């Protein structure tokens, strides 16, 4: 055969046996072995059959990756595999397999590959009948472990998504609520690098066809610019995630009533209702005129300052009564849960520390798994769509 790496002839050196682990135990097979003098031994069958270097069949690799990605830890993943499939893999095999697959995913995404055919989501309509597409981006810290187990600076993982949420309650047809459609990208990327990845997913689901684009973020550094830059329509709507803003008010209420939980809850509810019904500017004005106690503990002063700063900075994206009247989402479960479920849940557990490559790889596995139904399958069935080779000029 011709060596695929260097193009030189590689001679056949007989058949070699191999026994990877499959879902029903070890599978023994023989395949042709070639030797290239420059590159070494080659077994082209393995690559064609998608048999990885870890000696797992594709089905076992897929299941090990799923377990490694969804369980609380790789050790729990190994337990799950044994319990549910009778598959006995060590914790480190589950970990390395999951990370291999994550690295493969990252490389495919970097090469512009998407999974499955292009689709066009049926974008849901707002109160004025316009179809609306949503994007979100969020950052979450991960604790890192440096070489040799030394503590290292935490890296930010970004989670970004394009999604199509069900309409708000009042405009939902009777019957079961339609599911949220979402696609996520996640990893230890620089924020600028997430943009092209998210835009590619957005293009894959026909975001261009939606009449209106809404970007929801939590006010984190650079996220608004990210949305403007990557989803550059003049009428792009920027909304500050309502639940994030509300969490500031909840903390303020607790600082005001540190010893009275019921009073804190009641106060938080009142302020959050004000925020929802009157918006950020009015809420901020009301808080500035509030009859604060004459002597304030440091915690209360600090939280008042935090609210002041956060609201003043984001007030232009806190016009919640208007957004609700338009029938837009002001903070959906998707935004709330993107970081928690895609990355946070798995990467931020107590005592978890990550090597940089491991965290990055796992982010990819989880983003794929949490994305809409069909994405996980398309990746494993090698339904990889290449980017157009020729750029069309308009």
* Of 1, 2, 5, 325, the one binding Zn ion by CB under 5 A: 5
* Of 23, 32, 39, 113, the one binding Zn ion by CB under 5 A: 39
The CA–CA distances, whole Å, from 233 to 205, 208, 210, 229, 236 equal 18, 10, 12, 9, 5
Place of tokens 């076992």: 60
Q: Which is nearer to Zn ion, 5 or 301 (CB)?
A: 5
Site for Zn ion contains 3 (CB under 5 A): yes
Of 3-11, 201-209, 212-220, 234-242, the window that binds Zn ion (rule: CB under 5 A) is 3-11
Number of residues that bind Zn ion (CB under 5 A): 6
Name which of residues 287 to 346 contact Zn ion (CB under 5 A). none
Site for Zn ion contains 59 (CB under 5 A): no
- Distant-in-sequence, close-in-space partners of 275: CB < 8 Å, separation ≥ 6: 242, 245, 246, 249, 283, 318, 320
Q: Which is nearer to Zn ion, 38 or 171 (CB)?
A: 38
| Minimal distance, residue 13 CB to Zn ion, in Å | 14
In DSSP notation, 213-235 reads EEEEE---TTHHHHHHHHS--TT
| Longest Cα–Cα distance in the chain | 89
Site for Zn ion contains 36 (CB under 5 A): yes
d(CA 222, CA 230): 12
| Minimal distance, residue 14 CB to Zn ion, in Å | 18
The beta strands (E) that lie in the chain are given as 11-18, 21-22, 25-26, 29-36, 40-42, 114-115, 132-145, 151-164, 181-187, 212-217, 237-240, 384-385
Contact predicate 68/365, CB 8 Å: yes
Of 38-46, 113-121, 231-239, 377-385, the window that binds Zn ion (rule: CB under 5 A) is 38-46
* Of 1, 6, 11, 110, the one binding Zn ion by CB under 5 A: 6
Q: Which is nearer to Zn ion, 6 or 285 (CB)?
A: 6
Of 28-36, 218-226, 228-236, 289-297, the window that binds Zn ion (rule: CB under 5 A) is 28-36
| Minimal distance, residue 12 CB to Zn ion, in Å | 14
Of 24-32, 33-41, 101-109, 128-136, the window that binds Zn ion (rule: CB under 5 A) is 33-41
d(CA 98, CA 66): 8
Q: Is the dihedral of CA 69, 72, 75, 81 positive or negative?
A: negative
Q: Which is nearer to Zn ion, 35 or 243 (CB)?
A: 35
d(CA 291, CA 207): 47
| Minimal distance, residue 48 CB to Zn ion, in Å | 17
Residue 95 burial (10 A CB sphere; 0-12, 13-18, 19+): buried
Site for Zn ion contains 13 (CB under 5 A): no
Of 2-10, 174-182, 280-288, 335-343, the window that binds Zn ion (rule: CB under 5 A) is 2-10
Q: Which is nearer to Zn ion, 40 or 112 (CB)?
A: 40
Instruction: Please report, as ranges, the residues that interact with Zn ion according to CB under 5 A.
Output: 3, 5-6, 36, 38-39
């Amino acid at each position: 055969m011709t060596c695929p790496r260097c193009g030189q002839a590689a001679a056949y050196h007989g058949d070699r046996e191999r026994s990877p682990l499959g879902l029903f135990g070890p599978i023994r097979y023989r395949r042709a072995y070639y030797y290239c003098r420059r590159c070494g031994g080659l077994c082209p069958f393995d690559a064609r059959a998608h048999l990885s270097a870890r000696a797992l069949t594709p089905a076992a690799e897929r299941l090990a990756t799923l377990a490694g990605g969804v369980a609380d830890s790789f050790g729990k993943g190994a337990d799950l595999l044994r319990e549910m499939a009778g598959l006995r893999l060590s914790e480190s095999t589950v970990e390395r397999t999951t990370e291999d697959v994550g690295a493969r995913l990252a490389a495919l995404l970097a090469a512009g590959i998407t999974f499955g055919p292009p689709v066009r989501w049926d974008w849901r309509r707002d109160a004025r009948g316009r179809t609306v597409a949503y994007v979100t981006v969020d950052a979450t810290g991960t604790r890192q472990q440096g070489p040799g187990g030394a503590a290292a600076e935490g890296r930010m993982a970004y989670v970004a998504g394009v999604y199509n949420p069900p309409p708000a309650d009042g405009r939902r047809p009777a019957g079961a609520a339609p599911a949220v459609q979402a696609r996520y990208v996640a990893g230890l990327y620089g924020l600028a690098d997430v943009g092209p990845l998210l835009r590619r997913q957005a293009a894959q689901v026909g975001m261009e066809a939606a009449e209106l684009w809404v970007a929801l973020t939590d006010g984190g550094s650079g996220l608004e610019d990210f949305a403007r830059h990557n989803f550059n329509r003049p009428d792009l709507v920027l909304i500050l995630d309502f639940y994030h803003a509300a969490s500031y008010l909840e903390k303020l209420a607790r600082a005001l009533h540190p010893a009275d939980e019921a009073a804190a809850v009641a106060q938080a509810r009142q302020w959050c209702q004000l925020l929802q019904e009157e918006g950020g500017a009015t809420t901020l004005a009301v808080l500035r005129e509030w009859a604060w106690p004459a002597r304030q503990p440091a915690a209360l002063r600090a939280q008042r300052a935090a609210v002041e700063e956060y609201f003043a900075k984001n007030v232009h994206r806190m016009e919640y009564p208007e957004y609700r009247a338009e029938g837009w989402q002001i903070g959906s479960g998707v935004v709330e849960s993107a970081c928690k479920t895609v990355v946070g849940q798995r990467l931020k557990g107590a005592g978890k520390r990550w090597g940089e490559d491991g965290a990055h790889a796992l982010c990819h596995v989880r983003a794929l798994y949490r994305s809409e139904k069909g994405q996980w399958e398309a990746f494993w069935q090698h339904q990889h769509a290449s980017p157009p080779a020729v750029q069309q000029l308009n």
